[in-house]
């Protein structure tokens, strides 16, 4: 039998996978408003393509945070206080981005739109990058003391490995977002989105290989869980290659599914590699936060399990339904809400 805290580790992992899969593409679309769009009309199409979804996608992050708080209070406390400054920047970025979508279309002047465009770009670029850095740090280990307090200086958290992780996540989100765009738009914009995604595949592959190599070198994840991680890695390579193949065949739906699979495998890989640790101490292994010493009591986990398992099917059902309602492609000539 498994323990409830193990189940919750899986659930938090699922929530983060959901977050990166869903918010990942709207981060990518947000970046594309700067890198791909050629006109205000195209920019509006892009924003409207994620219009009905981005808010609910972001809730996956809030729920993941809430689940950490409830199921692993020590994890939530150590990580959120330990990464204080990066999280402040993430929050500022998410705040700006959220209102920018709503505010951008409500003014007429060029300066007004330009301002919010910059906010959308930064708001879509910084969070995936910083989350990538944070996740790479979780894998690499952090100076955590006996009281589970993390006292990290800037050079503990910023190094080649973690920055590489940040860049990889950012580019991955961008590719995923571009595929979402080619799935949700028409005509020339659709073609350009796909072409740019394809062009980015090689650099992304390089980033991945470099990051994987450094992971083998810097962490003991492969020693501990080599078989599972290798299988996941292999599946990731297959999905990656298939993504490229489907892009060439102009099968956007399949290609989007594959970039999503790569994201899911990458994030799931972090959790598989960490288990049973959730935060690794570089000071002393016995200071590690684990699934067992950071968890809430059994009663609390039981309640949370019942609540989560009874609510999650409904949440998934209506979220999937909302994607079904807005399955039609967005067109510049139609009425655009944003």
3-class secondary structure, 279: strand
> Residue 263 to residues 131, 235, 240: CA-CA distances in angstroms?
13, 12, 10
Residue 79 vs 291, nearer CB to another protein:
79
Q: Which residues pair with 289 in a beta bridge?
A: 279
**Distance in angstroms (rounded) separating the CA atoms of residues 30 and 2:** 40
Residue 196 vs 293, nearer CB to another protein:
293
Name the minimum Å distance from CB 294 to another protein: 9
How many CA within 13 A on the CB side of residue 12? 25
Name the minimum Å distance from CB 231 to another protein: 31
Name the minimum Å distance from CB 54 to another protein: 8
**Distance in angstroms (rounded) separating the CA atoms of residues 335 and 28:** 23
Decide: residue 89, CB within 10 A, 0-12 exposed, 13-18 middle, 19+ buried. Answer: middle
Residue 222 vs 326, nearer CB to another protein:
326
Residue 72 vs 256, nearer CB to another protein:
72
**Distance in angstroms (rounded) separating the CA atoms of residues 140 and 334:** 49
User: The dihedral of CA 171, 55, 331, 30: what is its sign?
Assistant: negative
Name the minimum Å distance from CB 233 to another protein: 32
Name the minimum Å distance from CB 219 to another protein: 23
As given in the structure block, the two tokens for residue 207 are 């980033």
Q: Which residues pair with 277 in a beta bridge?
A: 290
Residue 152 vs 210, nearer CB to another protein:
152
Name the minimum Å distance from CB 88 to another protein: 4
Name the minimum Å distance from CB 226 to another protein: 33
Residue 105 vs 276, nearer CB to another protein:
105
Residue 54 vs 240, nearer CB to another protein:
54
As given in the structure block, the two tokens for residue 294 are 């950071």
Q: What is the DSSP string of 23-51?
A: HHHHHHHHHHHHHT--SHHHHHHHHHHHT
Q: What is the DSSP string of 294-316?
A: S---HHHHHHHHHHHHHHHHHHH
Residue 58 vs 252, nearer CB to another protein:
58
**Distance in angstroms (rounded) separating the CA atoms of residues 139 and 142:** 9
Name the minimum Å distance from CB 49 to another protein: 11
Q: Which of 290, 271, 287 is nearest to 225 (CA)?
A: 271
């Amino acid at each position: 039998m498994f323990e409830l805290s193990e189940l919750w580790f899986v659930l938090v992992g699922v929530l983060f996978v959901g977050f990166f899969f869903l918010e990942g593409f709207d981060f990518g679309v947000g970046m594309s408003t700067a890198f791909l769009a050629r006109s205000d009309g195209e920019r509006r199409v892009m924003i409207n393509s994620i219009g009905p979804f981005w808010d609910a996608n972001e809730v996956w992050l809030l729920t993941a945070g809430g689940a950490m708080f409830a199921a692993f209070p020590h994890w939530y406390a150590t990580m959120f206080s330990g990464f204080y400054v990066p999280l402040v920047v993430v929050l500022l970025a998410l705040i700006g981005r959220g209102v920018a979508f709503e505010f951008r279309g409500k003014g007429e002047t060029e300066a007004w739109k330009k301002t919010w465009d910059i906010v959308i770009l930064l708001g879509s670029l910084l969070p995936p990058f910083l989350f990538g850095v944070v996740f790479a740090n979780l894998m690499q280990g952090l100076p955590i003391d006996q009281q589970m307090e993390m006292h990290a200086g800037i050079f503990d958290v910023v190094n080649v490995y973690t920055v590489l992780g940040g860049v990889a996540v950012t580019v991955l989100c961008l590719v995923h977002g571009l595929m979402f765009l080619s799935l949700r738009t028409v005509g020339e914009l659709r073609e350009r989105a796909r072409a740019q995604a394809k062009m980015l595949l090689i650099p992304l592959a390089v980033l991945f290989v470099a990051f994987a190599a450094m992971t083998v070198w810097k962490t003991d994840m492969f020693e501990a869980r080599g078989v599972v991680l290798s299988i996941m890695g292999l599946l990731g390579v297959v999905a990656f290659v298939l993504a490229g193949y489907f892009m060439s065949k102009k099968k956007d739906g399949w290609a989007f599914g594959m970039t999503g699979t790569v994201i899911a495998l990458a994030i799931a890989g972090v959790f598989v590699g960490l288990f049973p640790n959730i935060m690794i101490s570089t000071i002393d292994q016995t200071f590690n936060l684990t699934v067992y010493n950071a968890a809430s009591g059994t009663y609390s986990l039981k309640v949370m399990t019942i609540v989560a398992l009874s609510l999650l099917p409904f949440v998934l059902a209506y979220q999937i339904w909302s994607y079904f309602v807005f399955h039609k492609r967005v067109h510049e000539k139609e009425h655009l809400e944003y």
